[in-house]
Each structure stands twice: as C-alpha cells, then as structure tokens.
Amino acid sequence: MSQTIVFASGKGGTGKTTVTVNIAIALCKKNNKVLLIDCDCGMRGLDIMLGLEQNLMYDTGDVIAGNCVTSDAVYAHPSVNGLFLMPAPLNVEDEISPQVMEQFVNTVRDSYDYILIDSPAGLGSGFKTAAAAADRAIIVINAEPTGVRGALNIRKELIDKGITDIRLIINKLNEKNFRELALYNDLDEVIDKCETQLIGVVPDDYTVVTFSQKGNPHLNNSSANKVFSNIAERISGGQAQLAFPKKI
Ligand SMILES: Nc1ncnc2c1ncn2[C@@H]1O[C@H](COP(=O)(O)OP(=O)(O)OP(=O)(O)O)[C@@H](O)[C@H]1O
Ligand SMILES: [Mg+2]
C-alpha cells in the first residue's frame, strides 16, 4: 500500500525541496519506487535539483487541461533507479485544485511505494493542494523562532485536514551558530515548542547546496547523506538512529 507524504513549512527557504529530493533518493536506494510531485506552482524547483529541467515537455497543468495523458507528464530519472518526477506548472494560473490533486493521486497511488509532495511555503492555496491527498506530513524547519511559529501554524492546518501523522525535520543546523545564538537552550526545546515528533536533524552542509544548484542528485560524500538515509529508514518504519547532534 503506497503512502503519500507532504513536505511543508510555514516559513520559506527552510529546505523543503532539498530535503524532499534527498529523502526520495534515499527511499529509492532502499528499493522503493517513488513519485515526486512538485506542487510549488510557478516556482517549481524539483526539476532543476534533479537535473531534469531540459527534459520537461508537460506538467500537471497539461494533464488537467487534457494536453497530454498522465504518463506523458511523469519523468523517470535517468540515474536514480525507481525515481519519477511530476513537475508543477510554470504558470500560477495553471495551479490545480485540492480536489483534482486528490483524484490524481488516487489514480497513481497503486503504482508507487511512496508519493512525496513538495509544497510551497505558507498556508496558501498551493499548500492546500499539496496537502489534499497526503496521508502523512513532514514539517521542515530551521532552528529559529520564525521556523517554530511556522511549524505550529502548519501543524494546526494539517490536523484540521485530518492529517495526524506529522513529523519534524530540523534542517540546516549549524551547531556552532546554534550554541552562539543561544535562541534556545537545546534542540529539545525547539522540538517541544513545535509540538511535533522529530524524524531527523540535517546539518548545514555546503555540498547539499552544490548538489541542488548543479542538478546532480548524488550526495555520496556528504555528511547529510547518512542523515537522509536514516530518515528514509524511519519513514519506512525502521529504527535508524536520529543522528541527533550529541553536543546540543
Ligand atoms: N542541509 C542544508 N545545508 C545547506 N544548505 C541547504 C540545506 N538544505 C537546503 N539548503 C539550501 O537552502 C536553500 C533553500 O532550499 P530549498 O529551495 O530546498 O528551500 P525551500 O524550503 O524549498 O524554499 P521555498 O520555500 O522557496 O520553496 C537552497 O540554497 C538550498 O541549497
Ligand atoms: Mg521549495
């Protein structure tokens, strides 16, 4: 039975798209078949991060408009076995409704082990569409007060929509900066304030930036790589370590 997971954040730029791509790749490395749906209409980025930008002919908007069949708008990644992308429309006017997203996901659900949906920041229509078909949610924050407030707002919306399986990723954590800024006593305080169970802490890692801008989805030598692998394991119900930094 496939699972659909929406990646969300109240605040922009926390790393949702980056985290979604990397977890999708980690799930594929564990022999899962994964569909990534880009729901950031008008600002899509998954295609760039996956190096598929030049390949795209159709997107979800074309499927809905009847310009193509669904399979025409689903792109298999050439070097990540089992990874597929459905791009968002480039034009905001082509944004699909939550109802249409739900219908669409229901038609493709049986073909994948996981469907990961990357949403735009905030609580707007794009988030509502992204969340419409989700069984589970992962909130991506940075360890700062605006991130925490965003997480609480998103969490409330998700629960109102009936999504109760919600986990937290703290992304771009720089341990030295976290200690020096002293906004929180420790990471436990951040997690408690978000009222959401942690599934992973991803370090601030320059190779993640390099990868995302070059469209080369292979992070083999990155310190973040093991973390993404552990998060994928935990998503699948395994008991991998949280990789919680010991010093914080
Ligand atoms: N763990 C990380 N370490 C270092 N940089 C990162 C990490 N995760 C993401 N980034 C960088 O942070 C920036 C924002 O990432 P990304 O586009 O994934 O965020 P987003 O939450 O999807 O943004 P938006 O809200 O605009 O959709 C990018 O430059 C990305 O490379
Ligand atoms: Mg994004």
Is the domain spanning 3-235 CATH 3.40.50.300? The answer is yes
Band of pLDDT at residue 6, cut at 50, 70 and 90: very high
Q: How far is the CA of 152 from the centre of ligand 2 (A)?
A: 19
Atom of ligand 1 nearest to the CA of 40: 27
pLDDT tens digits along 154-182: 999 999 999 999 999 999 999 999 999 99
Residue spans of the domains in the chain: they are 3-235
Q: How far is the CA of 50 from the centre of ligand 1 (A)?
A: 14
Spatial distance between the Cα atoms of 234 and 67, rounded to a whole number of angstroms: 39
CA dihedral 114, 41, 227, 218 (to 10 degrees): 90
pLDDT tens digits along 178-226: 999 999 999 999 999 999 999 999 999 888 877 767 777 666 667 788 8
Spatial distance between the Cα atoms of 129 and 102, rounded to a whole number of angstroms: 8
Query: Which pLDDT value is given to residue 161?
Result: 94
User: Does the C-beta of 61 come closer than 6 Å to ligand 1?
Assistant: no
Residues shown for the chain: 248
User: Does the C-beta of 46 come closer than 6 Å to ligand 1?
Assistant: no
Spatial distance between the Cα atoms of 77 and 47, rounded to a whole number of angstroms: 10
Q: How far is the CA of 150 from the centre of ligand 1 (A)?
A: 16
The H or E element spanning position 206 is helix 206-214
User: Does the C-beta of 59 come closer than 6 Å to ligand 1?
Assistant: no
pLDDT tens digits along 52-105: 988 899 999 898 889 999 999 999 999 899 999 999 988 887 788 999 999 989
Spatial distance between the Cα atoms of 177 and 182, rounded to a whole number of angstroms: 8
pLDDT tens digits along 105-140: 999 999 999 999 999 999 999 999 999 999 999 999
Spatial distance between the Cα atoms of 139 and 153, rounded to a whole number of angstroms: 11
Residue 243 has pLDDT above 70, yes or no: no
CA 57, chain centre distance (Å): 23
Q: Which of 9, 11, 17 to mutate to test the pocket of ligand 1 (most atoms within 8 A of CB)?
A: 17
